[in-house]
């Protein structure tokens, strides 16, 4: 896709929060200790971020909790003031970051739509004029005069989203919006986002739902500790996000396989998948067994080790897991001397539906105490391909039939 | 898709009137009207309730000060003066005590949208002003019923209201912008407002107070406002602010305090506005 002109330009944006060691939030305390200087710990939420977002782009910002992504969104929305650098924007911004902000439960939907419309940057008349369209979009025509406190939460979300769409801003900043509403409404949101994007609107979405990022975003940015770690392809951003989340704090710039795991008593040497013919493969066909291979090396003596693996889907939800202890010949102690290699391998029945999956691994020692010898590390990333998608993540053998219980009436 | 560069505007962060004047006005109107509607249409007897409060206070004080303490003796139209003053002071008290916590009450919009910060205390003051104007209608009915004859000076009433409005707004700006950082300000201000109620010539005419006490009380910028209101509306023969204070020169002090409060309000509000969202 050809990049449009720059709609949001951020240059060396910085934000520091001063966190008092001991919060003095009363005049009484201030008066009691008038000469004590308050001591602060400085929290560098954003340390010099620069990026451009182009017009007509669906731009994702991802990062862990506390990475500074929401702070960045608040700076763009003029909720916080930056301490350094500058942000410039073109076009009308919907200056809000959450649906339904400012909704007043005591007021009717009609009044709330106008109030919310103005909050999103419309004039009062303009907001009133768009009211019918908003209500129609939300499908709430029958409940126009109902007070908002009598609305169900689903209705409220629909109304809030409809107002946002109705405000028709050039730039929309959204914090985790798609996590709300039922499936059909989520679909409607999806359609709207695509349509807005095609109409040349710019959408900035902050999320930690990687499925959304991969499904929607044209580009994505990964932030960690207030610094930009990656900007570009959403797939890559999502992948790096996973590494960051499951690979320990140091695994962010190297790949997971070389990942610097803190206190290492065991080291991952290799991890791969094999097909039926014993060849290494990147991806697995639906229904074919997974040839699973992991090779690790003990650096120091490991007593009573356990090798654990979790398979999880693109949303980060664990689909299944397994753990193994060492197979011991008669009379041997359950100890791995330093320098010994261990291979965990075998075939796994593959009930996984088409999609992307990840495997994380960990090794603990002294079974009873559960110390980590190797911390959780994302070791494999593969796709199950096939033509029989379905709901959920797995297909299971089910001896279930549908038949007529009573004879149909003639 | 065009590739010509777009005109970029700098994002300046939150401020007192960020987002443009029109947007601020729209939001101010909506916020104040919403609050007003909520008070008056929320309950069936909404308006009567809000009128009942000053009237009950008036009834109690009237009995106390005309029957028990006889403070009103020798003051022409003491009853209506008392009612009038209570309603005027009620505006100041209601607006400022509601304004203290207003940033926290409106936390949602402060933390989740770009919202011109000044609109929040201003909406509170405006709501109280609507309320005052409605109450004044009732007060003037009382005034006429008690036999006060209308004079041309009634037309000067807007001057009194305007100066009270400005002072109320300034105080509301100060307390609302400081509250997020100093959470005990709510309690402190409630007490301070009650103290001011007694320090302002609401219950008594200033000329009845002993000379020393009067010298202190005439320093308050509220005093001349109440004195003028009384002279212009209730009793043309009342001494007026200059006579009570002991000369026009003495009025310079409360005038200077008045200006200082307003200047301080603008300064502190502009200083605190950008960071209010972070303190909540």
Task: List the Cα angle A201/A202/A204 in 5-degree steps.
Answer: 145
Residues of B with CB under 8 A from a CB of A: 1-14, 18-19, 22-23, 26-27, 29-30, 34, 37-38, 42, 108-115, 181-185, 188, 274-275, 277-278
Cβ contacts of A93 on chain B, cutoff 8 Å: 114
Digit-coded pLDDT (tens) for A346-395: 999 999 988 888 888 888 877 666 566 776 677 888 888 887 778 888 88
Give the full edge-to-edge strand order of the sheet including B9-10: A40-54, A6-20, A84-89, B9-10
Nearest to B30 among A7, A75, A118 (CB): A118
Helical H segments across chain B, by residue range: 21-41, 46-63, 78-100, 102-105, 107-112, 119-145, 157-178, 185-199, 211-217, 222-229, 240-245, 252-272, 276-279
Same fold, A6-19+41-246 and A266-385: no
Banded pLDDT at A35 (limits 50, 70, 90): low
Mean model confidence pLDDT for chain A:
80
Which of B5, B12, B13 should be substituted to probe chain A, the one whose Cβ sees the most A Cβ atoms within 10 Å? B13
Q: For residue B280, tell me if it sits in a domain.
A: no
User: Quick one: average pLDDT of A40-56?
Assistant: 87
| Prediction ipTM score | 0.78
- The DSSP code for B162 is H
What phi and psi, each to the nearest 5 degrees, are found at residue B99?
-65, -35
Question: What pLDDT, on a 0 to 100 scale, did the predictor assign at position A99?
Answer: 73
Report percent pLDDT > 70 for chain B: 96
Nearest to B2 among A5, A80, A98 (CB): A5
Superfamily of domain A6-19+41-246: P-loop containing nucleotide triphosphate hydrolases (3.40.50.300)
Digit-coded pLDDT (tens) for B133-177: 988 988 898 899 888 888 999 999 999 999 999 999 999 999 999
Cβ contacts of A173 on chain B, cutoff 8 Å: none
Cβ contacts of B10 on chain A, cutoff 8 Å: 86-88
Write down the CATH number for the domain with range A266-385: 2.70.50.60
Banded pLDDT at A264 (limits 50, 70, 90): low
Distance CA B48, CA A183 (A): 48
Task: Decide if B112 and A98 are in contact by the 8 Å CB cutoff.
Answer: yes
Among A229, A209, A233, A205, which Cα is nearest to A219's?
A233
Nearest to A124 among B1, B26, B181 (CB): B26
Tell whether the model's pLDDT for residue B221 goes beyond 60.
Answer: yes
User: Quick one: average pLDDT of A293-322?
Assistant: 85
Banded pLDDT at B196 (limits 50, 70, 90): very high
Nearest to B26 among A30, A56, A118 (CB): A118
Cβ contacts of B37 on chain A, cutoff 8 Å: 107
Tell whether the model's pLDDT for residue A251 goes beyond 70.
Answer: no
Report percent pLDDT > 90 for chain B: 42
Q: For residue B93, tell me if it sits in a domain.
A: yes
Nearest chain B CA: its distance from A76 CA (Å): 7
Mean model confidence pLDDT for chain B:
87
Q: How many domains does chain B have?
A: 1
Give the full edge-to-edge strand order of the sheet including A290-298: A280-281, A266-274, A290-298, A341-348
Banded pLDDT at A241 (limits 50, 70, 90): confident
Task: Decide if A118 and B111 are in contact by the 8 Å CB cutoff.
Answer: no
Banded pLDDT at B224 (limits 50, 70, 90): very high
Task: Decide if B278 and A4 are in contact by the 8 Å CB cutoff.
Answer: no
Question: What pLDDT, on a 0 to 100 scale, did the predictor assign at position B9?
Answer: 82
Nearest chain A CA: its distance from B121 CA (Å): 16
Nearest to B6 among A26, A55, A93 (CB): A55
Tell whether the model's pLDDT for residue B193 goes beyond 80.
Answer: yes
Nearest chain A CA: its distance from B82 CA (Å): 34
Digit-coded pLDDT (tens) for A101-155: 778 887 888 888 888 888 888 888 888 888 888 888 888 888 888 888 888 877 8
Digit-coded pLDDT (tens) for B104-138: 988 888 888 888 899 999 999 999 998 899 889 88
Question: What pLDDT, on a 0 to 100 scale, did the predictor assign at position A23?
Answer: 63
Chain B residue whose CA is closest to A71: B278
Among B191, B175, B173, B192, which Cα is nearest to B183's?
B175
Tell whether the model's pLDDT for residue A179 goes beyond 60.
Answer: no
Instruction: Give the dihedral sign, CA B168/B169/B171/B177.
Output: positive
Instruction: Give the dihedral sign, CA A206/A207/A208/A211.
Output: negative
Domain ranges of chain A: 6-19+41-246, 266-385
Nearest to B14 among A78, A97, A123 (CB): A78
Report percent pLDDT > 70 for chain A: 86
By three-state DSSP, how is residue A145 classified?
coil
Nearest chain B CA: its distance from A144 CA (Å): 17
Task: Decide if B112 and A123 are in contact by the 8 Å CB cutoff.
Answer: no
Q: For residue B10, tell me if it sits in a domain.
A: no
Tell whether the model's pLDDT for residue A248 goes beyond 70.
Answer: no
Banded pLDDT at A258 (limits 50, 70, 90): very low
User: Quick one: average pLDDT of A267-290?
Assistant: 86
Q: For residue B12, tell me if it sits in a domain.
A: no
Give the full edge-to-edge strand order of the sheet including A171-175: A93-94, A171-175, A202-207, A58-62, A219-224, A227-232
Tell whether the model's pLDDT for residue B178 goes beyond 90.
Answer: yes
Question: What pLDDT, on a 0 to 100 scale, did the predictor assign at position A182?
Answer: 59
Instruction: Give the dihedral sign, CA A347/A348/A352/A357.
Output: negative
Task: Decide if B7 and A90 are in contact by the 8 Å CB cutoff.
Answer: yes
Interface size A-B, in CB pairs within 8 Å, comes to 125
Task: Decide if A4 and B2 are in contact by the 8 Å CB cutoff.
Answer: yes
């Amino acid at each position: 896709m050809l990049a449009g002109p720059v709609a949001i330009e951020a240059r060396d944006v910085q934000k520091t929060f001063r966190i008092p060691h001991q919060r003095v939030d009363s005049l009484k305390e201030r008066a009691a200790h008038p000469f004590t200087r308050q001591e602060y710990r400085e929290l560098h939420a954003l340390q010099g971020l620069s990026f451009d977002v182009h017009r007509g782009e669906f731009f994702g910002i991802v990062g862990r909790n506390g990475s500074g992504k929401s702070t960045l969104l608040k700076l763009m929305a003029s909720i916080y003031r930056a301490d350094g650098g500058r942000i410039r924007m073109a076009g009308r911004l919907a200056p809000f970051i959450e649906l339904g902000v400012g909704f007043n439960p005591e007021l009717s939907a009609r009044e709330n739509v106008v109030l919310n419309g103005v909050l999103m940057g419309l004039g009062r008349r303009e907001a009133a004029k768009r009211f019918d369209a908003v209500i129609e979009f939300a499908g709430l025509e029958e409940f126009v005069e109902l007070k908002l406190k009598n609305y169900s939460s689903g209705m409220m979300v629909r109304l809030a989203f409809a107002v946002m769409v109705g405000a028709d801003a050039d730039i929309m900043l959204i914090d985790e919006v798609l996590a709300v509403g039922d499936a059909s409404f989520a679909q409607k949101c999806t359609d709207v986002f695509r349509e807005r994007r095609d109409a040349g609107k710019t959408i900035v979405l902050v999320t930690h739902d990687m499925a959304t990022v991969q499904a929607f975003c044209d580009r994505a940015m990964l932030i960690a500790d207030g610094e930009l770690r990656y900007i570009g392809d959403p797939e890559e951003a999502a992948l790096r996000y996973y590494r960051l989340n499951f690979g320990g704090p140091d695994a962010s710039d190297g790949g997971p396989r070389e990942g610097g795991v803190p206190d290492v008593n065991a080291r991952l040497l290799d991890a791969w998948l094999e097909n039926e013919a014993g060849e290494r493969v990147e991806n697995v066909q639906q229904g074919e067994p997974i040839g699973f291979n992991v090779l690790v090396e003990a650096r120091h003596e490991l007593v009573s080790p356990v090798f654990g693996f979790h398979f999880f889907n693109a949303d980060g939800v664990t689909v299944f897991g397994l753990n193994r202890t060492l197979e011991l010949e008669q009379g041997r102690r359950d100890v791995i001397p330093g320098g010994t290699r261990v291979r965990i391998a075998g075939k796994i029945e593959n009930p996984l539906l088409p999609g992307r999956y990840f495997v994380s691994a960990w090794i603990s020692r002294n079974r009873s105490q559960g110390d980590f010898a190797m911390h959780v590390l994302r070791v494999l990333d593969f796709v199950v391909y096939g033509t029989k998608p379905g709901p959920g993540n797995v297909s299971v053998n089910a001896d279930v039939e549908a038949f007529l219980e009573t004879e149909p009436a003639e | 898709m065009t590739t010509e560069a777009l005109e970029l505007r700098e994002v300046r962060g939150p401020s007192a009137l960020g987002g443009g004047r029109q947007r601020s006005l729209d939001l101010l109107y909506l916020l104040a009207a919403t609050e007003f509607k909520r008070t008056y249409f929320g309950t069936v007897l909404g308006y009567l309730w809000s009128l009942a409060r000053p009237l009950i206070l008036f009834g109690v004080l009237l009995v106390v000060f005309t029957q028990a303490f006889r403070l009103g003796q020798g003051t022409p139209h003491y009853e209506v003066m008392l009612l009038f003053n209570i309603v005027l002071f009620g505006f100041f008290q209601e607006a400022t005590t509601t304004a203290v916590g207003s940033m926290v009450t409106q936390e949602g919009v402060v933390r989740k949208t770009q919202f011109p910060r000044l609109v929040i205390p201003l909406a509170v003051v405006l709501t109280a002003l609507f309320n005052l104007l409605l109450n004044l209608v009732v007060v003037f009915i009382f005034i006429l019923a008690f036999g006060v004859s209308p004079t041309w000076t009634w037309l000067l009433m807007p001057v009194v209201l305007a100066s009270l409005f400005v002072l109320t707004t300034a105080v509301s700006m100060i307390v609302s912008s400081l509250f997020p950082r100093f959470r005990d300000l709510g309690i402190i201000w409630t007490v301070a407002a009650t103290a001011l109620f007694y320090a302002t010539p609401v219950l008594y005419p200033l000329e009845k107070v002993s000379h020393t006490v009067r010298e202190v009380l005439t320093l308050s910028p509220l005093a001349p406002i109440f004195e003028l209101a009384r002279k212009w509306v209730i009793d043309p023969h009342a001494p007026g602010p200059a006579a009570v204070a002991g000369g026009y020169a003495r009025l310079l002090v409360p005038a200077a305090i008045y200006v200082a409060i307003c200047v301080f309000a603008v300064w502190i509000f502009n200083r605190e506005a950008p960071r209010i969202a972070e303190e909540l």
